[in-house]
Amino acid sequence: MSEIRSHNGTGMRRESLAWLERTLSDLTGAIERAVFTEELARKDAWLQKIDPRAKLVMFLVMVLTASLSHTLVILIALYLVTLLAAYASRLPFDFFVRRVWIGVPLFAGLVIMPSIFLTKGPLLFEITAGPLHLGPTLPGLMGATIFVARVGVSVSLAVLLVLTTPWADLLKSLQALRVPQVFILLLSMTYRYIFLFLHTANGMLAARKSRTVGHTSGNEHRSWISGSIAALMHRSFKMSNDVYAAMAARGFNNTIRTYHEYHMKMRDWLALLGACCIAAAALLAGGYLR
């Protein structure tokens, strides 16, 4: 019986490790295909044709409107507008929706969960734990729903902006808004090299898997993980110095440059005006503008 339990435990650990390896590999591949290669941002569609400066202002206005909205109907209407924009931009609908709503309810729900029980109001049902009598309240549940919807709409808008705008153009549009150059440079380097190190970590995991024969203990796994983290940190420090030296040798002067020249056209002004009108209508309906 002990041999059977040991065999089953080993099989379960191997299945868990295989699941972790598949998840990391699939995550790396999806990021490289969908974000790093900027395939969607190069499509000939509506949002991709809008000037990045106008597009950035549009999305900032819409995110601000979603953040100020406290009515579920308005948030649903803003999300429907976001879905229409994604459809007009020829984004994969299931990919766009899944990318946002897999993570938003989890993290936003964990943050807002205590308020469901601590907000005053009529109880939906009561939970008794010794001397404590707790339960979710109707105002708390409504507030949590509005909070999750607000976060979902804001994240959807941010994802839509990133998917339809090449990263270099987005950074250059930040310059037009007078964002500090140091912040833009750090954001650019972080965005680019986080995918490189993710790919490196995936390669290290594949190399270990191809050289591992037999069962390894938990201590060996933890030792390898800590050693891999240290190796990645050492490699990141060394690469940062090498990259900066290479950029300085090629005349880099802390300015983000692209091959595209920006010229605001009529369609850009109309799109910007349309976003401002939608935001004003949502704020009027919510009672913010009188």
Query: Tell me, what's the pLDDT at 14?
Result: 53
Q: In this structure, what token pair is assigned to residue 4?
A: 């059977």
Global pTM reads 0.73
The residue that leads in pLDDT, 4 or 216, is: 216
Please tell me the predicted confidence (pLDDT) of residue 76.
93
pLDDT digits (tens, 9 = 90+) for 183-229: 887 887 777 777 777 777 777 877 777 777 777 777 877 787 788 88
pLDDT tens digits for 32-50? 555 555 778 888 889 999 9
Ordered by start, the domain boundaries in the chain are 46-166+260-290
Question: Which SS3 state, helix, strand or coil, does residue 265 take?
Answer: coil
Spatial CB neighbours of 254, under 8 Å, sequence gap ≥ 6: 181, 182, 185
pLDDT digit string, tens, across residues 117-160 = 777 877 776 666 556 667 778 888 888 889 999 999 999 999 89
Judge contact between 135 and 117, C-beta under 8 A.
yes
| CA distance to 11, 15, 72, 94, 286, per residue, from 170 (Å) | 47, 42, 31, 24, 31
CA 91, 97, 103, 108 torsion: positive or negative?
positive
pLDDT at 2: 42
Percentage of the chain exceeding pLDDT 70: 79
pLDDT higher than 90, residue 82: yes
How high is the pLDDT of residue 31? 59
pLDDT tens digits for range 257-275:
666 677 889 999 999 999 9
CA angle 254–255–260, rounded 5-degree value: 155
Q: Find out whether 146 and 158 touch, Cβ atoms under 8 Å.
A: no
DSSP 1: -
pLDDT of the residue at 8: 47
